[in-house]
């Protein structure tokens, strides 16, 4: 029996390493990726189907949800031009670190707002857009940090009962103050229902220190605070001025209030309730729009916000076809939603909404 080694076995020659080496596989992967990304992409079947559904929705039998069996006069073709000025994706990325600081979840004082305005410089993004982006980033941070906060809830409770304040812990560990306070209550073995009921009537159900800490946390938390009435009222006003805009352009539509009432009566609950359901064949920038949903914030290119909105779009597309999402503070050009075009509020008269927000700001300053 021969004891000679096969000269090719266990070879470490440069020739064999080129064939099977890790670097070679990585190179192939990179080349393959480049080739795939360079291929022209055809029409998206989902989008094509959404457009077809929007164009044929008035011929559907039985009628789609919310559409009358007969319209008089018949649906008219109305074409609108909508000038768009999206924020470049790279600019949005640059602004992330300008507007967000660890533990900063509340209202910003004038000095901090002025600092942000100075740091924005000549970037093609307004101060309002940057501040709305900050809110979206903080919201995403609150969602993604929730699990980490729950794992450290007992630690937060020990530090809190050792005398450290909620706001101090919030700044140190970068957790939203109200979420942090809830985690402390949870670490005391309070049920979710007990926490919910307690924070509805904190004066009656919290001890003196907890009440004081909760009020401070709520005042410094615009992300997870309990009272959202101001935000909802501003969103309602935005929807109103949006309706006024389409009224002025001769477009017929049904409002969210109309759809909500009808669906609750028929289904016992709201099912699909966009802000506007068009009763005419509306095209905006050449794209059919069967429905519109208004967002009183900036459309950031963030995964959490995008996924949430896409789920909503999918429900509307399933029923009526292609639609539109309109963002009060504009949107990033990197944000893409299948089945809906993105619009900003530039053509809309926002005077009523701006005056409302100014009154709120003046009241806040006078309280301080």
Per the model's pLDDT, the better-predicted residue between 331 and 355 turns out to be 331
Strand partners, 292: 276, 324
Q: Is the pTM of this model over 0.85?
A: no
Per-residue pLDDT tens digits for 174-183 = 999 999 999 9
Mean pLDDT for the stretch of residues 306-329: 97
Q: What is the reported pLDDT for 291? A: 98
Q: What is the reported pLDDT for 357? A: 74
Residue 29 pLDDT more than 80? no
Could you say which DSSP state residue 299 is in? B
Among all chains, which residue has been given the structure tokens 């700001």? 361
Nearest alpha-carbon partner for 345 in 246, 210, 247: 246
Mean pLDDT for the stretch of residues 236-252: 93
3-state secondary structure of 225: coil
Mean per-residue pLDDT over the chain, rounded: 87
Q: Which of 7-16, 182-191, 209-218 has the lowest mean pLDDT?
A: 7-16
Q: What is the reported pLDDT for 175? A: 95
User: What domains can be seen in the chain, in order of their start residue?
Assistant: 89-219 (no CATH), 229-361 (3.40.1350)
């Amino acid at each position: 029996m021969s004891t000679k080694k096969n000269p090719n076995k266990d070879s470490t020659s440069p020739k064999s390493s080129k064939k099977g080496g890790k670097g070679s596989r990585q190179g192939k992967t990179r080349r393959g990726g480049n080739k795939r990304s360079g291929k022209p992409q055809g029409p998206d079947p989902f989008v094509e189907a959404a457009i077809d559904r929007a164009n044929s929705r008035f011929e559907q039998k039985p009628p789609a949800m919310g559409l009358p069996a007969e319209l008089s006069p018949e649906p008219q073709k109305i074409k609108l031009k909508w000038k768009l000025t999206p924020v470049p994706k790279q600019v949005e990325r640059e602004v992330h670190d300008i507007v967000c600081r660890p533990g900063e979840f509340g209202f910003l004082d004038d000095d901090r707002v002025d600092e942000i305005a100075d740091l924005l410089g000549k970037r093609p993004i307004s101060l309002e857009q940057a501040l709305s982006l900050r809110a979206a980033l903080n919201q995403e941070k609150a969602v993604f940090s929730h699990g980490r906060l729950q794992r450290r809830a007992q630690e937060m409770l020990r530090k809190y009962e050792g005398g450290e304040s909620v706001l101090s812990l919030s700044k140190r560990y970068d957790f939203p103050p109200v979420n942090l306070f809830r985690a402390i209550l949870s670490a005391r073995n309070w049920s979710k229902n007990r926490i919910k009921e307690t924070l509805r009537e904190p004066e009656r159900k919290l001890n003196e220190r907890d009440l004081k800490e909760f009020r401070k946390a709520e005042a410094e938390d615009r992300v997870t605070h309990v009272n959202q009435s101001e935000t909802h009222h501003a969103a309602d006003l935005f929807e109103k001025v949006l309706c006024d805009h389409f009224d002025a352009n001769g477009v017929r539509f049904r409002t969210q209030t109309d759809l909500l009432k009808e669906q609750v009566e028929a289904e016992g609950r709201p099912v699909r309730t966009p802000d506007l359901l068009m009763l005419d064949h509306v095209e905006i920038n050449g794209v059919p729009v069967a429905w519109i949903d208004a967002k009183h914030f900036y459309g950031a290119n963030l995964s959490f916000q995008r996924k949430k909105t896409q789920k909503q779009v999918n429900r509307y597309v399933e029923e009526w076809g292609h639609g539109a999402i309109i963002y009060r503070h504009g949107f990033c050009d990197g944000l893409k939603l299948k089945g809906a075009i993105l619009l900003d509020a530039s053509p809309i008269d926002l005077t009523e909404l701006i005056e409302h927000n100014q009154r709120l700001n003046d009241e806040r300053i006078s309280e301080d």
